Structure 1
Amino acid sequence: MVESTPSPTPSRANNGFVLYLVSTILFVVYLIWAFIPDPLLHYFGLTYLPLKYWAIAMPIYGMVSLFVFVMFFYPCINMLLVPPRESSNVLTDSYTLSDRKETAPGGVPSACDIPLSTVCEILYLRNKHV
């Protein structure tokens, strides 16, 4: 089985180079279509292009769609993926480090696991300014 790593490989380098070339060419074609006047495009025989309205509308539609996804769908997906507090996936086991030792003044606290109920209490129940 091939291990999936982020390290560069020849096939990834080739794919990245092709993606770079294709995206650059498409962007240049988009800029030519958006900024060259229609009579000049018709002179060269390019009469089948969409209206110039879409040169502005499509990027705006794309940004609005991205905004809706980031502000609504992405948080909803993340909330669905979090297991409930009573789930068997949120358990403490024999490897849990729950005994916090006292820290010397000015020192760094020792590493330990914080129970989920404590995290929720600190984040959502304490210091509520109503």
Structure 2
Amino acid sequence: MAETGPTSPVSPLAPYPPLPTEVRSRAPEFYGFAAWSGTYLLFVIYLLWALLPDEYIVWLGVSWYPNRDWALLLPAYSVILVLLTYFTYFALAIAGTPSFSDMSTITDSRASLPAADEPNPYLLNACENAIPELYDIPIGLVNRVVYGRRKPENDAAGEARPLYTPLTSAVVEPH
């Protein structure tokens, strides 16, 4: 006698538990077709209004229709509206950007800086075999390493000097 239900989880013939039957609505397909058809119908009506002479439109039984100038003005206004939308979002993004002097352009609330009471972790990890802790490097230290220490703008003779001079190659010994 043959079994009618699933037999076991290891049976290749019947899945266990039975797979749920998929109930899917076909409404999006019909709405999509209606939107596609409506769009093309409106486009054909727009082209007929824009291109047919007045005699043919009156012959079709249409007694009133907008001025033909709108056949050019509507697409032109639409393009300007799209461009103004892009410009507005770009301007809002620029307005929301912090200034260069704002500290949020350099660091944020998630920055991982060493505690003030610890010895300098940057110097402790300067050994060749050291695996450093993961810290964000302060911008002042980066500027000092890249540009050197700040010097006066004029020397003794009154001649202008560069603001920064590069650091000399020095080996830092850990404590």
| Alignment deviations for residues 9-31 of structure 1 (CA, whole Å, 9 cap, x no partner) | 63333322221111111001101
The one of 51, 57, 80 aligned to 1:64? 80
Q: CA deviation at 1:42?
A: 1.2
Q: Which runs of 4+ in 1 moved over 2 A?
A: 8-15, 76-86, 90-94
Structure 2 unaligned segments of length 5 or more: list them. 1-23, 113-135, 140-175
Aligned positions, number: 86
Match of 1:74 in 2: 89
Q: CA deviation at 1:79?
A: 4.7
Distance 2:93 2:25 in 1: 32
Distance 1:24 1:43 in 2: 23
Query: Secondary structure, in 3 states, of the residue corresponding to 1:49?
Result: coil
**Which structure features the higher share of helix residues?**
1
Distance 1:20 1:56 in 2: 23
Distance 2:97 2:28 in 1: 33
CA distance 1:20–1:91, change in 2 (3 Å): farther
Instruction: Please give the root-mean-square deviation of Cα atoms over the aligned residues, in Å.
Output: 3.2
Q: What are the equivalent positions in structure 2 for 1:4-83 lying under 5 Å apart?
A: 10-70=26-86, 72-79=87-94
Distance 2:76 2:59 in 1: 29
Letter of the 2:90 partner, please give it. Answer: P
CA distance 1:81–1:25, change in 2 (3 Å): farther
The one of 81, 89, 110 aligned to 1:92? 110
Letter of the 1:19 partner, please give it. Answer: A
Q: Normalising by structure 1, report the TM-score.
A: 0.51
CA distance 1:10–1:35, change in 2 (3 Å): same
Larger radius of gyration: 2
Query: Secondary structure, in 3 states, of the residue corresponding to 1:39?
Result: helix
Q: CA deviation at 1:67?
A: 1.1
| Alignment deviations for residues 34-74 of structure 1 (CA, whole Å, 9 cap, x no partner) | 1110111112221210111111111111111111111x212
Structure 1 unaligned segments of length 5 or more: list them. 1-7, 95-114, 119-130
